[in-house]
Amino acid sequence: MSSTHYQESSIRVLKGLEPVKQRPGMYTRTDSPMHIIQEVLDNAADEALGGFGKKIDVVWHVDGSVTVEDEGRGIPMGLHPEEGVPVLELVFTRLHAGGKFDKGSGGAYRFSGGLHGVGVSVTNALSQRLEITVFRDKQVGKLVFSGGDVIEPLSIRPAQSGDKKQGTRVRAWPDAKYFDSPQFQQSEFERLLRSKAVLLKGVSVSLLIEKTGQKTVWKFEQGLEGYLQQALEGQETIAPVFSGDLEVDIAKEEGFASGEGAAWSLAFTAEGGVFRESFVNLIPTPAGGTHESGLREGVFNAVRAFCEVHALLPKGVRLLPEDVFSRVSCVLSAKVLDPQFQGQIKERLNSRDAVRLVACLVRPSFEFWLNHHLDAGKKIAELAIRQAQIRTREGQKVEKRKSSSVAILPGKLTDCESTDLTRNELFLVEGDSAGGSAKMGRDKEFQAVLPLRGKVLNAWETERDRLFANQEIHDMSVAIGVDPHDKPENVDVSGLRYGKICILSDADVDGSHIQVLLLTLFYKHFPGLVAKGHIHIARPPLFRVDVPVHRKRPARKVYCLDELELHAVKDKLEKDGINTANLQVSRFKGLGEMNAEQLWETTLNPDTRRLLPVGLGVLDEAQTTEMMNLLMGRNESSSRRGWLEAKGNLVEVDI
């Protein structure tokens, strides 16, 4: 392609809802339309969470559309003071527009799950048609969209005798072209609505399926405990269900806001599967996150303290968090002022403070409960000790097999103490400077560090029998405990020493290059480790934002992965009322600039880090090999250039 084709006119700016239509997968799940309907449901639930309304009605129509109706305050219909457009229209057509950014006193939503401001606007963008009816201030407003565009402007009439007093009714027809399947799964739909009813005590949530005439109503008076008992029906628990619902004491725990807290219900079972569900501000978090880590930490510390007080631990047995938590079934609902989610679909909570928030509430409460239910407490302790003994025996077997090896571990490797494959982690760190910070900041119990000097050999066209001529690759292979191989099925993992092998490099272009070289090495010569999910990429932040004291919140540090996240954080802080001119933004030139504490908090701590697993992707083996050959082959420079000219505009490069 000639460079003359790349001109000023080549740059396209996506406006309004175009980004959502161009890249729907960045904003929502595209396997089915369930998530865009969930965005509407979340808004109705947020109203109920705020104490507005006791009923949410959902109708699944024959034509595939869905109506969600609440008894909330109703979306304002007047003109926005700055934009000059009806607020109701703004909410459904403008990304990052909503009532959930203002967290100060008097904000419309103090606690809510929708903090990205792209919720119902995404629903609108990906729907063939969307109708909104608002009942508010003795008026009824109606607005209709098609593909995100207004086709019937806002009309307002006086309320009549048959109209509701207040509330919002949204009916959406999802556009099938954006989804793998246009159909909803009834079981998933019912599970979502049931969970909302569980978390909204006393609120009635109903689903009417027009096709069959079936109507189901969920209303839970017992809340989380009743839900957990229902989920564990038929399984025998070794102790009564332990439940709690507390708000944090801001006088004792610094860094939290009034009203933040957690509700939980947990049970221990000796056999069978475990059931776990978690939520943040009523939003389901199927991938867990930091609030679940806080629950695990609180339960573990309480059980360990109980064992120590009553001298229950046998000699030589050391309890670990997984020994205690592996047999726990639980439902957790956290209330967090400013939740930070991983991705727009909010599957995992990333807020680092949530670990401490939940742990500081659960530990003292559970410790008190254990000491007032001695028989139950001892049964729980015995179960945890039994799990620890099983783990220790399995670890001893692995150690015995390894001790027969004649391989000598490389001198640069700082090994960990544990021999448990499921916990052990090896960090391949760029440079000795960063390696020093990683060694000081790591948890020496289960984290090992191997510093790499310079850039690793491009091993794409290197024969396997010549790999060990390179010292860096030799040291990595010996440290990992697996020899190079050509096929995943040919790998012998009996000597594998670490369950996770993590590439830790700077968050810049050179760091990305090192990642590519290491991934090339693993894909070409250690494919079994990739196929079995042992390879990961650690994601250190590029920026640190020092946020000053604001209202009742003390000064704090926020870490951002890249420029995009930095802009999003600044935007959010500004909407929270913080003057961005008072923010201090620092850019890390490399991992060596981070001290051990910062590296632990942002990149090494399993509860707060962002670790990206590496898999084989959607391409078949031949396509993947062809692409890798294009990118890494020594004689493919001309093809590579042509590919970059054709595809280079798809990537954002930080130079």
Residues designated catalytic = 430, 506, 508, 510
Both structure tokens of 156: 């307002």
DSSP secondary structure, 237-294, as one string: BSS--EEEEEE--TTTSTT--TT-EEEEEEEEBSSS---EEEEETTEE-TT-BHHHHH
| CA end-to-end distance (rounded Å), the chain | 23
Task: For 297-311, give one letter per residue: b (16+ CB within 10 A) or e.
Answer: bbbbbbbbbbbeeee
Contact by Cβ (8 Å): 121, 91 = yes
Give the integer Cα–Cα distance in Å for 296 and 500.
21
Beta bridge partner(s), residue 383: none
**Farthest-apart Cα atoms in the chain, separation:** 87
d(CA 556, CA 573): 12
Gyration radius of the chain's alpha carbons: 27
Burial letters 358-388, b for 16+ CB under 10 A, else e: bbbbbbebbbebbeeeeebbbbbbebbbebb
CA 41 to each of CA 34, 44, 71: distance values in angstroms, whole numbers, following the listed order: 10, 5, 12
Long-range contacts of 551-560 (CB under 8 A, 24+ apart): 551/104, 551/105, 551/577, 552/250, 552/257, 552/258, 553/255, 553/257, 554/254, 554/255, 556/255, 559/601, 559/602
The residue type at 247: E
CA angle 557, 558, 559 (to 5 degrees): 120
According to the 3-state scheme, what is the secondary structure of 491-558? CCCCCCCCCEEEEECCCCHHHHHHHHHHHHHHHHHCHHHHHCCCEEEECCCCEEEEECCECCECCEEE
Six-digit token string for 118: 């792209």
Amino acid in the structure at residue 117: G
**377 φ/ψ angles, rounded to the nearest 5 degrees:** -60, -40
Q: Which helix (H) or strand (E) holds 150?
A: strand 149-158
How far does Cα 255 stand from its chain's mean position? 22
Contact 619, 463 (CB under 8 A): no
**Burial of 503 by CB count in 10 Å (0-12 exposed, 13-18 middle, 19+ buried)?**
buried
* Measured CA distances, 139 to 16, 67, 84 (Å): 29, 20, 20
Instruction: Tell me, letter by letter, the H, E, C secondary structure of 363-424.
Output: HHHHHHHHHHCHHHHHHHHHHHHHHHHHHHHHHHHHHHHHHCCCCCCCCCCECCCCCCCCCC
Q: With left for phi above 0 and alpha for psi between -120 and 50, is residue 295 left, alpha or beta?
A: alpha
Task: Using alpha carbons, select from 492, 479, 475, 495 the residue that is nearest to residue 526.
Answer: 492
CB 224 within 8 A of CB 263: yes
Q: Using CA atoms, how far apart are residues 92 and 146, in angstroms rounded to an integer?
A: 11
Q: Is 4 exposed, middle or buried (0-12, 13-18, 19+ CB in 10 A)?
A: exposed
